[in-house]
Amino acid sequence: MTNLPPDRSEASFGDYKPAYSSAQALAEAHRCLYCVDAPCVQHCPTGIDIPEFIRKIGTGNLRGSARTIFAANVFGMSCARVCPVEVLCAGACVYNEMDAPAIEIGKLQRYATDAAYAAGWEFFTAGPDTGKSVGIIGGGPAALAAAHELRVHGHAVTIYDAGGALGGLNTTGVAPYKMRADQSLVEVEWVMRIGGIEVQSGVQVGRDISWETLQQRHQALVIAVGLGVDRTLDIPGKQLAGIHGAVDFIRMFKLGRVDMSAVRSAAVLGGGNTAIDAVRELRGLGVPEVTMIYRGGEAQMSGYVHEWKAAKVEGVRAAFHAQPIAYVGEDRVTGVRCARVGADRRPTGEEITVPADVVLLAIGQARLGEFAAALPGVGVEDGRIVVDAEGATGRPGVYAAGDCANGGKEVVNAVAEGKRAALAIARTLGGA
């Protein structure tokens, strides 16, 4: 799976935040005020010492800069590209209050981490063998961050992942103009370089292997299974060809080819970040007319404002206050019939039909927490696995991290939570 087809559809996307040259990086680094109690650090879920890594770029110590980043966040390379910095670190930069552009923290982080990858610098070694073993269920950022930290502490680790490619949604879901699947896989290899992480791919826990077996094999478990399949809409016409879950469709074109040459129009249902990614990606794949259909107004969208602004610049349209009531078409979908709804979401009596040869549903993903409820003591609320401040579930030795516990956040949250669970396990099992 690491050998992805070079002609896959995502390969046609450009890089929307191109890398800095050294002169640009130095100039930006020298703008940093190196705040004491820097607010940006408080807003990075992995707590990277941002002023410190930027200061090191400014003094030409790139290796030290990368070390500072990776010490806090082993996924520093992808986070530099995919973090919504506008609402995290850079959103807290004091320059925002001075009406000046915030420091480009993501781009500086990319500059330092890309240098480390290019030079092949090594920063981590596994701790002395403790003879203890931890099983990790899932292969996304939360699972890999936990596995890496557990190896630093000398514990044996086995990852059980249902998918074919490691990296979870970082590989199969993130928009290609932020990071392509092959870059995520390079990062997976970088994380695995610590050695001693056994991977059992294509193994779905609960179907291919039982909880009992896992508990016999390991002294602790980390559940990091993410979210489940795209939710569907039970309306007439749902069987028509051309209707897909958005996450499923994104995975298809990131890992392989989709032919959109005959598609004149597309609609995406939803108003969150996946919907915004999907409309931008459909435009990037060459679909001339792309409409986002959302039952609320622009102000109610849960997706990031800066991403939606970019989508509009790229020519995406929106049908706000529109509730889909039927898909239109004979064998293939040709449109989505919607009832106009008011601010109270009640139908106004008006209807519109949005033309669409392809429809993507971005109305949420199923939550997978229920599958852990088979373990006595593990609490599940609203589909999420209930954890305490250290990531522990109610069952001794069983932890959870990432989207399956937080309900769906960002890669950086998954990384922070995976590491947090690993550190808590290391405290109970001992080790370096």
Ligand X SMILES: Cc1cc2nc3c(=O)[nH]c(=O)nc-3n(C[C@H](O)[C@H](O)[C@H](O)COP(=O)(O)OP(=O)(O)OC[C@H]3O[C@@H](n4cnc5c(N)ncnc54)[C@H](O)[C@@H]3O)c2cc1C
Stretch that binds ligand SF4, among 44-52, 131-139, 215-223, 334-342 (CB under 6 A): 44-52
Tell me how far apart the alpha carbons of residues 7 and 341 are, in angstroms, rounded to a whole number.
Answer: 43
Tell me how far apart the alpha carbons of residues 246 and 251 are, in angstroms, rounded to a whole number.
Answer: 9
Q: Does residue 106 interact with ligand SF4 by CB under 6 A?
A: yes
Phi, psi at 126, each rounded to 5°: -70, 145
Q: Does residue 48 interact with ligand SF4 by CB under 6 A?
A: yes
Residue with tokens 């990852």, as numbered in its chain: 159
Contact of residue 414 among ligand SF4, ligand X, none (CB under 5-8 Å per partner type)? ligand X
Contact of residue 58 among ligand X, ligand SF4, none (CB under 5-8 Å per partner type)? none
Tell me how far apart the alpha carbons of residues 205 and 207 are, in angstroms, rounded to a whole number.
Answer: 5
Phi, psi at 360, each rounded to 5°: -115, 135
Q: Does residue 79 interact with ligand SF4 by CB under 6 A?
A: yes
What minimum distance in Å lies between the beta carbon of 77 and ligand X?
13
- For ligand X, the binding residues (CB under 6 A) are 82-83, 137-143, 160-163, 168-170, 173-175, 178, 204-206, 224-227, 247, 250, 274, 277, 402-403, 409-412, 414
How far from the centroid of its chain's Cα atoms is residue 196's Cα? Answer: 25
What minimum distance in Å lies between the beta carbon of 44 and ligand X?
12
- What residues does 337 pair with on adjacent strands? 326, 353
What minimum distance in Å lies between the beta carbon of 354 and ligand X?
21
Q: Does residue 109 interact with ligand SF4 by CB under 6 A?
A: yes
Sites for ligand SF4 among residues 396-425 (CB under 6 A):
412
Q: How far apart are the first and last CA of the chain?
A: 34
Nearer to ligand X, 29 or 414 (CB): 414
What minimum distance in Å lies between the beta carbon of 412 and ligand SF4?
5
Number of H helices, E strands in the chain: 15, 17
- Rg of the chain over all Cα atoms, to the nearest angstrom: 22
Structure tokens at 362: 């971005």
In sequence order, which residues have a C-beta less than 8 Å from that of residue 392 and are 6 or more positions away?
398, 399, 421, 424
Nearer to ligand SF4, 363 or 412 (CB): 412
Contact of residue 223 among ligand SF4, ligand X, none (CB under 5-8 Å per partner type)? none
What minimum distance in Å lies between the beta carbon of 97 and ligand X?
25
Cβ atoms of residues 147 and 136 within 8 Å:
yes
Phi, psi at 285, each rounded to 5°: -85, 0
Cβ atoms of residues 57 and 73 within 8 Å:
no
Cβ atoms of residues 35 and 94 within 8 Å:
yes
> Of 353, 336, 357, nearest to 238 (Cα)?
336
Nearer to ligand X, 81 or 295 (CB): 81
Could you tell me the CA-to-CA distances from 385 to 143, 157, 348, 408, 425 in Å, in that order?
A: 15, 22, 39, 12, 17
CB atoms within 10 A of CB 81: 27
Stretch that binds ligand SF4, among 43-51, 96-104, 128-136, 289-297 (CB under 6 A): 43-51
Q: Does residue 83 interact with ligand SF4 by CB under 6 A?
A: yes
Contact of residue 163 among ligand SF4, ligand X, none (CB under 5-8 Å per partner type)? ligand X
What minimum distance in Å lies between the beta carbon of 76 and ligand X?
13
Contact of residue 185 among ligand SF4, ligand X, none (CB under 5-8 Å per partner type)? none
Q: Does residue 85 interact with ligand SF4 by CB under 6 A?
A: yes
Structure tokens at 249: 């469709």
Q: By three-state DSSP, how is residue 381 classified? A: strand
What minimum distance in Å lies between the beta carbon of 151 and ligand SF4?
21
Tell me how far apart the alpha carbons of residues 332 and 329 are, in angstroms, rounded to a whole number.
Answer: 6
Contact of residue 277 among ligand SF4, ligand X, none (CB under 5-8 Å per partner type)? ligand X
Nearer to ligand SF4, 83 or 282 (CB): 83
What is the x/- site pattern for ligand SF4, positions 165-204, by CB under 6 A?
----------------------------------------
What minimum distance in Å lies between the beta carbon of 87 and ligand SF4?
9
Tell me how far apart the alpha carbons of residues 167 and 233 are, in angstroms, rounded to a whole number.
Answer: 28
Nearer to ligand SF4, 46 or 274 (CB): 46
Q: Does residue 105 interact with ligand SF4 by CB under 6 A?
A: yes
In sequence order, which residues have a C-beta less than 8 Å from that of residue 120 and are 6 or more positions away?
none
Among positions 4, 29, 38, 44, the unique one binding ligand SF4 when judged by CB under 6 A: 44
- Residues near ligand SF4 (CB under 6 A): 44, 46, 48, 50, 73, 79-80, 83, 85, 88-89, 105-106, 109, 412
